[in-house]
Structure 1
Amino acid sequence: MSKQEVMDELQELFRDIFDDEDLILSEGTNSNEVEEWDSLNHINLVIAIERKFNIKFALGEIQSLKDVGEMVDMMIAKHL
Structure 2
Amino acid sequence: MNREEVTGIVGEIMCDVFDLDELDYSDSLSAEDIEEWDSLSHISFVVAVEKRFGVRFTSAEIADLQTVGELVDKIVARV
Q: Which range, TM-score by smaller chain?
A: over 0.9
Displaced runs of 4 or more, over 4 A: none
Which residue in 1 is equivalent to 2:71?
Answer: 71
Scaled by the length of structure 2, what TM-score is found? 0.96
Matched, 1:45 2:45: yes
CA distance in 2: counterparts of 1:22 and 1:77, whole angstroms = 27
Which residue in 1 is equivalent to 2:56?
Answer: 56
- The answer for unaligned runs of 5 or more in structure 2 is none
Scaled by the length of structure 1, what TM-score is found? 0.95
Which residue in 1 is equivalent to 2:27?
Answer: 27
- The answer for unaligned runs of 5 or more in structure 1 is none
Higher helix share: 2
Deviation sequence 1:51-79 (CA, Å, 0-9, x none): 1110000000000000011001111111x
CA distance in 2: counterparts of 1:42 and 1:48, whole angstroms = 10
CA distance in 2: counterparts of 1:69 and 1:11, whole angstroms = 11
The one-letter code sitting in structure 2 at the alignment partner of 1:46 is V
User: Percent sequence identity over matched residues?
Assistant: 39
The one-letter code sitting in structure 2 at the alignment partner of 1:6 is V
SS across alignment from 2:31: coil
